[in-house]
A and B are shown apart, each in its own frame.
Chain A
């Protein structure tokens, strides 16, 4: 009846997709360690722009996309409201903490405001999830899209809490132990730590009894219900967990830009998260980060690139849209799936999946 029963489930039962068993195998591969070390010593290599604008932003977007990857990949629920949850966490960080808008912000210290923001956003995501699990498949997309757009229009119209379309500016970031945690290098390590934590949590949960039961629910809800699992409780719990991850990403996001406005929770941004997760590949947690890195690189350099080859530099979204279409039509598992298939063709007999970019 409940989540407590999940331990009964035999591992491997839901391993119809290679997704389930993969994450732990990765840790033995030398390339993974190389990428991990590279990420840790990144501040020595990259300058401030690359460190925060490219890698930091990729990791943050990757965290939000990871929450969608968890829901879509393991739960079979494509939720378009993950960015909305992140946005709410960001807004709450700004509203409860200190910011330039003194009439709105309550000025709580960061160690109180941040957990509170994450808790509120998680609660919101769980309630939204409770609504969404009443429906299935494509309906989930429609309902979460409606929730995301309603939140966007609400932030635009509400001045008492969300300060309308100007949003909240000059959000104060944490300072403690004598360190400015928004300084480039310190902030990079904060992001990296949170990203690693979320990645580890998702990888672990995918193999824990709860994650296996969730994948069972994804593959055959009716059979799981017959076996005595509460299908909806698992789905709602998945939403709660994913909301918590998205909320972490949202807090980092608002610290990164030091401001938040309805533009940051717009429907297009929400769809960007879906693009990131799908392009990266929703079968494995790493896909979210791969997708985020590609997305951020494209967003940052498309303009220069298009101008360099003599085209209109403003067609970034066109390129993203076409790339997304190509991935959806030709490689449903995203870049990660494509990579694995390439490896399957070229190096037969080599060690199986693993070893791609770690973020």
Chain B
């Protein structure tokens, strides 16, 4: 942190000013002139919250993607299919049992098993051939997409939000002040906040597991140099299978989240694959903090973009990606 400030005082200052401006926009009561130019504060605040919660969902999807990429150099383009399949599994379980939490668990386990099977049966055989592995994942994603279309049809599915989490919650953010001097607070759907919280908890848990445990140490060593790690006697193939299973399982779980606050249909797999791609390109491939930062940026850009410049929302995301590629091709927080 301090090293970054020393090396790039200009950039650090710009980031500081941007953060301060964002905080002011979120917490201050907007003066009338700003409201006229920019629209109501309520609209802005809900766009920010939608962006952050969407970023949480993107983080869940992209963290698995970046984990698999970081360790195995495998651009797993079936990641979107795994997301969608997890969502379908979660839907089936929640319809059958009525339990939201159980649907998470089932989606995680089933999709993690599929991931492990893919690693053992397919990717292990063509290890080290990155381009070919990627091609294989493209083929698999086509097959998966068609199988899912076959099994679930083209309908929209949505998982029922559990009763305890339905309804809005009042947040301590002032959106406006009434003429009587009474402050109006932001109302926000509870379930989205819970999901955001879950994403943050999972993110922190992953960070702790990677940085403070023995297994995490092995995985990090594998990211840096897997050949040396294997030479030191670590059963690297087992680590690969476990990491692939974990990454896939996270995608499956994200599918349940996505099915709860959005919906599932054919085509969502591509949408989330694209989102993961952009998130990891922005954040830096193979980096978990990078995935978090990238997900936040993409989520905010999409939501703020769709509120303030609706026609060009997708272009904003894309322009950010181009900008990052132009300035820092390895991504914002890439290790190397």
Contacts and interface: CB of A to CB of B under 8 A. Distances in A.
Interface string B67-85: 0000001010100000000
B277 interface: yes
Given A274-B138, A318-B150, A157 B311 contact: yes
Contact of B281 (A143, A154, A271): A143
Interface in A324-354: 324-325, 328-329, 332
Contacts of A78: 131
A325 B150 contact: no
Given A146-B318, A150-B314, A274-B138, A138 B75 contact: yes
A157 B314 contact: yes
B132 A146 contact: no
Interface stretch (A32-40, A101-109, A129-137, A165-173): A129-137
A138 B77 CA distance: 11
Nearest to A321: B142
Contact of A324 (B142, B145, B322, B329): B142
B280 to A, nearest CB: 8
Contact of B73 (A138, A322, A329): A138
Question: B142, B281, B312 — which one has the most chain A CB atoms within 10 A of its CB?
Answer: B142
A59 B146 CA distance: 27
A328 B142 contact: no
Contact of B146 (A267, A274, A278, A318): A318
Nearest to A312: B150
Nearest to A150: B318
Given A145-B277, A149-B270, A134 B325 contact: yes
B238 interface: no
A315 B314 contact: no
Given A131-B322, A146-B278, A322 B132 contact: no
B329 A329 contact: no
Interface string B282-315: 0001000000000000000000000000111111
B315 A150 contact: yes
Contacts of B130: 137-138
A324 B138 contact: yes
Interface in A282-318: 312, 314-315, 317-318
B126 interface: yes
B contact patch SS: helix
A325 B274 contact: no
Contacts of B77: 145
Contacts of B138: 271, 274, 324
A126 B277 CA distance: 21
Contacts of B274: 145-146, 149-150, 267
A194 interface: no
Contacts, number: 104
A285 B246 CA distance: 41
Nearest to B329: A134
Contacts of B278: 146
Chain A, interface residues (CB within 8 Å), range: 35 or more
Contacts of A332: 132
Contacts of B122: 329
Interface string B111-142: 00000000000100010001110111011101
Interface in B264-283: 270, 274, 277-278, 280-281
A317 B146 contact: yes
A69 to B, nearest CB: 14
A131 B136 CA distance: 25
Nearest to B75: A138
A322 B75 contact: no
B335 to A, nearest CB: 15
B322 to A, nearest CB: 6
Nearest to A325: B139
Interface string A242-277: 000000000000000000000000011001001100
A316 to B, nearest CB: 8
A324 B75 CA distance: 17
A249 B285 CA distance: 34
A267 B141 CA distance: 12
Contacts of A154: 312, 314-315, 318
Contacts of A146: 274, 277-278, 281, 318, 321
Nearest to A131: B325
A146 B321 CA distance: 9
A141 interface: yes
A159 interface: yes
B306 to A, nearest CB: 9
Given A158-B311, A329-B126, A317 B145 contact: yes
Given A278-B135, A317-B146, A325 B277 contact: no
B143 interface: yes
A273 to B, nearest CB: 12
User: Which 6 A-B pairs give the minimum distances between C-beta atoms?
Assistant: A321-B142, A325-B139, A321-B143, A150-B318, A318-B146, A153-B314
30 contacts: A131-B322, A134-B326, A135-B325, A135-B329, A138-B73, A138-B75, A138-B130, A138-B134, A141-B134, A142-B75, A142-B277, A145-B77, A145-B274, A146-B274, A146-B318, A149-B274, A150-B274, A150-B315, A154-B314, A158-B311, A271-B138, A274-B135, A274-B138, A317-B142, A318-B146, A321-B143, A322-B139, A328-B132, A329-B126, A329-B136
Interface of A: 78, 131, 134-135, 137-139, 141-143, 145-147, 149-150, 153-154, 157-160, 267-268, 271, 274-275, 278, 312, 314-315, 317-318, 320-322, 324-325, 328-329, 332
